[in-house]
Every structure is written in structure tokens, then in C-alpha cells.
Structure 1
Amino acid sequence: MDNDIKAWLYDILNGINEIESFFIDVPKVFTNYQQDLKTKRAVERNIEIIGEAMSRILKQHNAPEISNSRKLVDVRNRIIHGYDPVSDEVIWGIVMKHLPLLRQEVEELLGE
């Protein structure tokens, strides 16, 4: 695997790990997330990082197949450029539904 792709995959994995770290001492409950502005912004920032890394991976001619990769880039663009507000529900859905699968796929690609 290309070293750049590997580095970006580690960036994705680090972003997922950081998001998960926000919920170690706090129950992973939507209303808790919704009421904690610092956690919301930190999660959004990590999704930006994940989306940017994914965007760079997708531009490579030998990009690995990763589920929902285009959707993650699109959400990143919406957050960064402020096209439309990204609802708490959308971000929470990514955290709960998409990040566990993304972690699994990235770890498999990295051989971890």
C-alpha cells in the first residue's frame, strides 16, 4: 500500500479514536452530546479531519474501497464550508453508525 494512503488511514483511525475518547466517562447518549457544545465541536473537527484524509485517499489512482467514503467527504465539506448547517442528528448518526464500520475497514486495510 502507498505510504501516503497508509498515513491518511492512520489519520482516520486517530480521528475515530479521539471521538471515542470523548465518551469514555460519559454515556454515549444523543441528548448528552447535543447539550455539550465542546464535545460537539470536537467531534465535528475530527469528522473534518477524517473527511479530509478520505478526500485525499479518493484522489489516488489505487484508492482502497471504503464504505461511505464519498458521504464522509461531503459532510466534511458541509462543515468546513458552511454550505448548510449540519444537524446534530447527522453527526450523531455518523458517530453511531458509520464510524464503527469505518474503524473496522481501516484496521483491516492497515493489517491491525
Structure 2
Amino acid sequence: MYLEDMNLAMERIAEYTRNMTYMDFEQDYKTIDAVIRNFEIIGEAAKNIPGEIKEKYPDIPWSEMYLLRNKVSHEYFGIDPEIIWDVLHNYLPENKKQIEKLLNTKQ
């Protein structure tokens, strides 16, 4: 269940930001809020993944996902859109591939 939640949240982030430039993103607070909400979902789900799965797949950055969730959940006014943009472009695609691969091995 949590892996599916993570995958869905990652798909939503990709959908919300498809064809956007950073300038578009930075000025679109609805999209920023939606992306942040989905990062919260990813992080909360990552926290709840059983330890044996985390140990079996240490290349997936489970703790970093949860730490990002904490950051975006508790720093309401200090969230830098540039950091969110960087994560969604430079880390999320690989994380999504890792989660999809894990989901495919579980089926």
C-alpha cells in the first residue's frame, strides 16, 4: 500500500509540473502547494515502509524522503521553491524508477 501511495504521489508531481519551466513553477503557488503536499505523502509513506524492505533496498533514499517531508511540513514560510524544483527534477525521476522496480518485484 505505501509503495503504491509513493508511486501515485510521484506520478502526480510529474503531471503537475510537466512542461513547466522553473519560472512558471516559481510563480504558480497552487502547483507549489500541490507538489509539496505530494512530497509529504511520499515522506510519510517512506517512514511507514517496513524495516526489512528498507534493509533489502538500501539504494532507495527512505530517510531522505522522510526528512524532506518534515522540512516541507514544518517550515511553512521558509520553503524555497528552487530546492523543491531541484528535488523534483534531479532526484524524483530516479526515485520513481526505484519504487516502480520494487513494485514490479512485489507482484
Normalised to the residue count of structure 2, the TM-score between the two structures is: 0.85
Match of 2:67 among 67, 74, 87: 74
Return 5+ residue gaps in structure 2 as ranges: none
- AA aligned to 1:62 is E
Q: Is the 1:8–1:54 Cα contact (8 Å) retained in structure 2? A: yes
Match of 2:5 among 8, 11, 17: 11
- Partner residue, 1:41: 33
Report the CA distance shift for 1:79/1:23 in structure 2 as closer, same or farther (over 3 A): closer
Match of 2:93 among 91, 97, 100: 100
Equivalent position SS for 1:79 = helix
Q: Is the 1:78–1:84 Cα contact (8 Å) retained in structure 2? A: no
Match of 2:21 among 29, 41, 44: 29
CA distance, structure 1, for counterparts of residue 77 and residue 24 of structure 2? 23
Q: Is the 1:16–1:99 Cα contact (8 Å) retained in structure 2? A: yes
Superposed displacement of residue 83, structure 1: 7.9
- Partner residue, 2:81: 88
CA distance, structure 2, for counterparts of residue 70 and residue 83 of structure 1? 21
CA distance, structure 2, for counterparts of residue 37 and residue 92 of structure 1? 13
Return 5+ residue gaps in structure 1 as ranges: 1-6
Superposed displacement of residue 63, structure 1: 2.2
- Partner residue, 1:63: 53
Normalised to the residue count of structure 1, the TM-score between the two structures is: 0.81
Report the CA distance shift for 1:21/1:83 in structure 2 as closer, same or farther (over 3 A): closer
